[in-house]
Amino acid sequence: MPIHQEVSFVAAPKRVYQLLTDSAEFAAATERPAEIAATEGGSFSIFGGYIQGRQIELVPGKRIVQTWRGIDWAARAHSLVRFTLTPEGHGTKLAVDHDAYPEGPSPMYPTWQEHLSTNWPVFYFEPLAKYLAA
């Protein structure tokens, strides 16, 4: 089942895009190591290497599409994450769509769907909102 979540930030789409594609800023916001190539086809490693993937599509200020995998997933298992940034007043509405993640139980939740749905706000939305508001 695809995951769809939305959040609003008090920053322009260009700024949110920059935060999602810049290693130093993403690491500062999440307080976890990050290496992010801001080029299509480039690789990324976030949260100290726990999540890895490739940049599939980058449209500055509008959209980011990535392959995405957790290091504890089965070999060659990848999912697809789409970030869509939409102007909302003086801020940004960020929609996240996450598809094709593993089926079955995760190490911490009954399903990967529950694991990922629960943790998008914890690891992305809350720290990014706090960082952007500072």
> Is the predicted pLDDT of residue 76 greater than 90, yes or no?
no
Cβ contacts of 66 within 8 Å, gap of 6 or more: 44, 53, 54, 55, 56, 80, 81, 82, 83
Domains in the chain and their CATH numbers? 3-95+125-133 (3.30.530.20)
**pLDDT tens digit string along 5-60?**
999 999 999 999 999 999 999 999 999 999 999 999 999 999 999 999 999 999 99
* Full strand arrangement of the beta sheet holding 91-99: 3-9, 91-99, 79-88, 63-70, 51-59, 43-46, 35-36
Percentage with pLDDT > 90 across the chain: 92
